Structure 1
């Protein structure tokens, strides 16, 4: 059925169909160069994405270093035997705990068992590498088994009173999906065990799961951000991620509780991260702590006069990555097996930090690092908010302090992404570049469905078109191990043996493997002209207010006037306590989001005039316009955010966004203010006491289609990406500014009958891209299917 569908989706003659839209492509009008690192990945150990996931280690809590040192282990003791955790003579200071086993006679025994993360998946006749650090005298029976069936059994003799590493291989006789790993000792023994390890045979460099690495490789990521995320910050500074704990022999690495509620073995640390970047040809973008723990969870700040330790960590990381082998940390890199530098170019300072405390610390990092490494591009953290006063203040500070790249994080609903595809059109071309270090669409239930992928794809057309500003972007989180999750949605889901990509994964892959080199001008017509229409309204937020003399006119006649002298109700209330008293309209509740509406839903191009006074409370006034219903409206928030700013907000299906930034503004109590709002098409003008506060064009509108066009010099391909997130097919005439010979067109499309469709272990390709070849003419017509992302690679290279 899929192949048959492909045939009918092919470009068709322009004489067959009437068209809904025309897409004009001007091959001679070039835009910005597309950043070669635009589409990347972000790896953080959340959802057991690394420990229990990417890392090939199958044993959980191999070093007994968790708060409960026996977490993940089951111990069976029979007879005169004992098994206890000790730390008297450990392998090293970073790994103090170990298991000491004593058996007094031949009738006694001890069995240590570990099921990893819901059981081990065994493949027949594959070699599983077992290793253990041990001291003492004993014979260990190493067993892989399940429900009484033994799949592999090998005996290992321990014969040294000093710590020594022992290794052997196990070859399961049959396949098993949920095996248990056990060590059985059934003879008189005194033995100590630590770093009990079993490495999967399907491993890249005996470090990482092949199937998960392959999923990353298929994305062809331009960069890789690591290790976080909130993980970098920690829930306090003691818990912060310190890169030096993660290099060197694994037995000397420090097992650590992470912010997401479980322990990291650091088996995949910074050295392995750099190796993976090298393997994937991705630019490394590491993030270091700025001397601040997670601000969202209540920050702990390292005193500024003690910040040198954290700055030195950053300097040493750069030296580890780039330094010659004659340097201290460059030499450590060589000892760890990599003589050649890793060519680090970027470094993030902090994650989701904000305010003066962060800015003061960033300046210190900036000054010291730039003095020694002027070519390293430093990345400045934005707050977790992607709009509003805290975000605006961060951007203003970045522009005035020589920031090269800012890191924005955007987790937003479907409606926001569609309405903000043009977000970066208006960014300052002389300001900082943008890395979107984390983003994902959160639909209802935070499902990994096609709807979310469509919204992300629409947004990505804007990222690509503005690649002179947006230089890097990565979806987050990357991995989720089923049954061990802290966060959804995620790009890649897996269990012990299986993996599948979500619709968002395949959208990322489509964009990242078809980027082009330079933007080509393209325009879709007709695009619906945005006109603000709807009722007007008054309101408040945690504030008692009074209104007087409301007049609404369409510049030709008065649509509504009320001086509230009579007790005649010209409004409809939505929350709040509204009443006419002494010639004013009062709202006396101190609750949130109190509103009263005036007028008709078909009103357009009108002006609102009203007088307002704050009686008590924490904020100012709300004046609504373009009100369609309780979830879809515009609002001028005057003295919002604890009476500190003014902002025009737009709500789409209940998701509020700020149009064109905020301005500082405070409303005084018991003072009358004259408010006027003028609407003309998409333009909004807001006046307070006759002073213009906001003059905004609302470009945050839905589009019939979302598109971007680029050119690839090597292949000679014109690459057109088109997103149709709507429930109807769209017929489009595609035409170029001059005659060209289209040799062939390769089309890649992802779609499904419902935008609620998802992938799963049972149906991993339920929502999956398909491709076909056609030979259209210029111009030609293409039908973009409902709920689809389509890429047309149109070859115009005579040498192809």
Structure 2
């Protein structure tokens, strides 16, 4: 049984007004074909064209940047697994196919200077050109759709445009193509039925030659008529988000100079927006651009939070740095973006905003300078952008990617990102408790469980526990958003994502409901609340490993008294010698593999013993000790749970590698023994340093004993460290209030229900409401069961200044208690 003691009279600080927001990045085809509901894929015919500062290899399979970063390209179709999963047949122009017609890309006759090609088609009589959309077009009966295209012909050509599936025609438009140069043709139709795998067909009954410059098919019914997919925006609206971070994410940086995001390329008529290749394996047409983001913010009453490129391509993808005129141009692009958002309609870019239908300024109070940038190259560019923006727009709060205050630079807010396991988040509910209140505010710009209970209820519980700690420190944490936001399930590049969709419907993962519950229950002040509860231990597995300098000699390795050998040579090769074994330095194959991994030292050895699934037992080994040589043993050397994301899809990592095995590390060097946990950004000591005497020039006996909760480490029979496996509170809670109510948020990560004893210093009414999220630990939502896990509003009774609430096993609970006015009791 847990206890929560609430003191509403002790207000800690006001709740942060903009705490809960959303972050949009075009990943998993979240933009085109998703939030921006274009139904035609490759509407500008440019998907198969590599960026000018890149080249392709292996017959178009791989795209390689000038700096050497590789990605799957497949002639513009993206990931190989998308092609396999979706059964995509080859075509030289992605998504476009012909029957009795020939097509090719024309680089000389384009719609405008921003288009690289047009699609030249020579139709035979009755010939067809068709587009398969984003894994099919899904018309809905009675819904209206608007089609337009820019086309040029030398002589008049008759065409019909229809949406068809299995010989059924959902709607049809007829056009006579004629006139000088490119002419725009528009039409609308209402679908006469439901479809799932339809295609857009342009049919030419009499034959002829046509150059298509650009085309589009979109539903007419969009959210508030502003061109965004209704069901997706409604799900965003229900979160009550207070800000929108856009447009990324890594796409802001790009993976090459040409693919870096620039404001000037994402405004104006959509057919004049150049589009660009994203590092998420596809091309964006930028129909969802700066104006559309600002309009969405206005529609949902959110603060825009614009992320600008500060002169760097992605530092995780072999970066290039903008210098001189290029850097000045990127700074100017950011200043243009601000002017577009909040400048007078008579200004250069404010006038374009007015032309786009919004003469009055939007809001813009937050700008983030760069995305996930760091180091001296970032510091120089950050200062340049900071000074220029602050001088012209002093009201804007400026966000840094790292703690630049440690370098003497100013920042209003610092953006921190966390991707890990459910247990990591639960263990770090107190992460900001001791944060220096004089330092910049915190923006939790990206956080998600990406290993283990991914997209499942237990993952959401871990995240919820972390949010509980965040709310207890919202005098420090000003903003927070989950990442990523949206996923077209047919083009998955990252998982999990808050909202998943196909061409007809959308669902939310359990985490969505946590953010909805917390974002809809804010209160006015955070109040004092003490929590007493039990401890849950992190799940651990795996036997031992040896790490450190090459040349380490050992013998007599055993597990529970049975001899055991090295099962995985992650770095270095084991050489058997007479009576012992030695770990040789990593070979060229291992070193090449390490080049693709994150934070792996290519000069250190790493060898894993025995089985992976064990959680308790005794490991014994004799290791030869030499003065000046460190000895490192790993405890619990199992692999971390897999994650979907791969840094280089063209060279997937091995199942066992030096980056996905993170044991607790026991190190002995110069007579000092340390025991630590490998964590980002720096390791954490599990115990104090201890003196451990070794007999140099001979084998010493090492032993450890583990039972899933405790670890005991011995040298030559002497216990050096005795440490508990890291754990976390089984229940966490934060309390906010207003003049009329008390809001208690409770996360129970235990497999057992918890009869929570709640004591308040004020009287509350008997009846209260609870919003509850619970279910099986591994429960997740699907299109077949879209609300298997969702929030449920319940009515309860029995509340008072002292009462019990039963929090179900594996649950998130938001209690809303109504205060009895003018009545307080001393506790």
* Secondary structure class of the residue paired with 2:196: strand
* Secondary structure class of the residue paired with 1:708: strand
Give the alignment partner of residue 779 of structure 2, picking from 722, 737, 757: 757
- 1:182/1:711 CA distance change after superposition, 3 Å: same
* Secondary structure class of the residue paired with 2:351: helix
Contact persistence 1:129–1:170 (CA under 8 A): yes
Give the alignment partner of residue 738 of structure 2, picking from 703, 707, 712: 712
Q: What is the 5 A alignment of 1:56-95?
A: 56-67=37-48, 70-77=93-100, 83-95=103-115
**What is the aligned length?**
690
Rounded to whole Å, the distance in 1 between the matches of 2:537 and 2:230 is 50
2:438 matched to which residue of 1? 430
2:5 matched to which residue of 1? 24
1:236 matched to which residue of 2? 256
Q: CA deviation at 1:269?
A: 0.4
- 1:64/1:774 CA distance change after superposition, 3 Å: same
1:99 matched to which residue of 2? 119
1:112 matched to which residue of 2? 129
Contact persistence 1:541–1:593 (CA under 8 A): yes
2:471 matched to which residue of 1? 464
* Secondary structure class of the residue paired with 1:178: coil
Give the alignment partner of residue 795 of structure 1, picking from 818, 824, 827: 818
Rounded to whole Å, the distance in 2 between the matches of 1:208 and 1:260 is 21
2:266 matched to which residue of 1? 246
Q: What is the 5 A alignment of 1:540-689?
A: 540-543=547-550, 592-593=605-606, 613-615=627-629, 622=632, 635=665, 649-650=676-677, 658-659=683-684
- 1:295/1:144 CA distance change after superposition, 3 Å: same
Q: CA deviation at 1:495?
A: 0.4
Contact persistence 2:241–2:302 (CA under 8 A): yes
Contact persistence 2:419–2:447 (CA under 8 A): yes
- Aligned CA RMSD, in angstroms, stands at 4.2
Q: CA deviation at 1:347?
A: 0.8
Q: How far does the alpha carbon of each residue in 1:341-380 deviate from its partner, in whole angstroms, 9 at most, with x for none?
A: 1121111111111111111111111122222222222111
* Secondary structure class of the residue paired with 2:521: coil
Contact persistence 1:544–1:587 (CA under 8 A): yes
* Secondary structure class of the residue paired with 1:38: coil
Q: How far does the alpha carbon of each residue in 1:65-115 deviate from its partner, in whole angstroms, 9 at most, with x for none?
A: 22267211111226xxx5443243432100142233455xxx723311112
2:353 matched to which residue of 1? 333
* Secondary structure class of the residue paired with 1:122: coil
Rounded to whole Å, the distance in 1 between the matches of 2:584 and 2:202 is 68
Q: CA deviation at 1:543?
A: 4.8
Q: How far does the alpha carbon of each residue in 1:358-408 deviate from its partner, in whole angstroms, 9 at most, with x for none?
A: 1111111112222222222211113xxxxxxxxxxxx36546312221111
Rounded to whole Å, the distance in 2 between the matches of 1:660 and 1:466 is 24
Rounded to whole Å, the distance in 2 between the matches of 1:623 and 1:25 is 46
1:178 matched to which residue of 2? 197
The answer to whether structure 1 residue 148 and structure 2 residue 167 are counterparts is: yes
Range that drifts further, 155-164 or 348-357: 155-164
Rounded to whole Å, the distance in 2 between the matches of 1:84 and 1:405 is 50
1:782 matched to which residue of 2? 805
Rounded to whole Å, the distance in 2 between the matches of 1:252 and 1:719 is 50
Q: CA deviation at 1:312?
A: 1.1
Rounded to whole Å, the distance in 2 between the matches of 1:602 and 1:63 is 62
Q: How far does the alpha carbon of each residue in 1:35-69 deviate from its partner, in whole angstroms, 9 at most, with x for none?
A: 11111111111000011211121011112122267
Q: What is the 5 A alignment of 1:111-510?
A: 111-136=128-153, 137-187=156-206, 189-204=208-223, 205=225, 207-303=227-323, 306-382=326-402, 395=403, 397-398=405-406, 400-444=408-452, 447-510=454-517
Rounded to whole Å, the distance in 1 between the matches of 2:626 and 2:805 is 54
* Secondary structure class of the residue paired with 1:208: coil
2:31 matched to which residue of 1? 50
* Secondary structure class of the residue paired with 1:169: strand
Range that drifts further, 493-502 or 587-596: 587-596
- 1:628/1:160 CA distance change after superposition, 3 Å: closer
2:589 matched to which residue of 1? none
- 1:334/1:368 CA distance change after superposition, 3 Å: same
Rounded to whole Å, the distance in 2 between the matches of 1:55 and 1:323 is 26
* Secondary structure class of the residue paired with 1:504: helix
Give the alignment partner of residue 758 of structure 2, picking from 734, 738, 741: 734
Contact persistence 2:426–2:462 (CA under 8 A): yes
Contact persistence 2:98–2:130 (CA under 8 A): yes
Q: CA deviation at 1:733?
A: 0.8
Contact persistence 2:366–2:399 (CA under 8 A): yes
Rounded to whole Å, the distance in 2 between the matches of 1:99 and 1:163 is 12
- 1:473/1:572 CA distance change after superposition, 3 Å: farther
Q: CA deviation at 1:186?
A: 1.4
Rounded to whole Å, the distance in 1 between the matches of 2:152 and 2:456 is 52
Structure 2, gaps ≥5 residues long: 50-91, 539-543, 555-559, 586-603, 610-615, 619-623, 640-661, 687-695, 698-708, 710-722
Q: CA deviation at 1:183?
A: 1.0
Structure 1, gaps ≥5 residues long: 1-19, 383-394, 532-536, 548-568, 604-609, 641-645, 662-670, 673-681, 683-696
Range that drifts further, 320-329 or 85-94: 85-94
Rounded to whole Å, the distance in 2 between the matches of 1:602 and 1:153 is 71
Q: How far does the alpha carbon of each residue in 1:694-734 deviate from its partner, in whole angstroms, 9 at most, with x for none?
A: xxx99974102011111134xx2211111111211111110
**TM-score, normalized by length of structure 1?**
0.78
Contact persistence 1:154–1:170 (CA under 8 A): yes
- 1:94/1:711 CA distance change after superposition, 3 Å: same
Rounded to whole Å, the distance in 2 between the matches of 1:84 and 1:529 is 62
- 1:613/1:414 CA distance change after superposition, 3 Å: farther
- 1:343/1:656 CA distance change after superposition, 3 Å: closer
Rounded to whole Å, the distance in 1 between the matches of 2:519 and 2:742 is 15
Q: How far does the alpha carbon of each residue in 1:117-163 deviate from its partner, in whole angstroms, 9 at most, with x for none?
A: 11111112221111111233222211111111222122122332232
- 1:30/1:99 CA distance change after superposition, 3 Å: same
Q: How far does the alpha carbon of each residue in 1:609-641 deviate from its partner, in whole angstroms, 9 at most, with x for none?
A: x998434xxxx56488xx78979985466899x
Contact persistence 2:731–2:749 (CA under 8 A): yes
Contact persistence 1:742–1:778 (CA under 8 A): no
Contact persistence 1:759–1:766 (CA under 8 A): yes
Rounded to whole Å, the distance in 1 between the matches of 2:206 and 2:674 is 76
Rounded to whole Å, the distance in 2 between the matches of 1:755 and 1:325 is 54
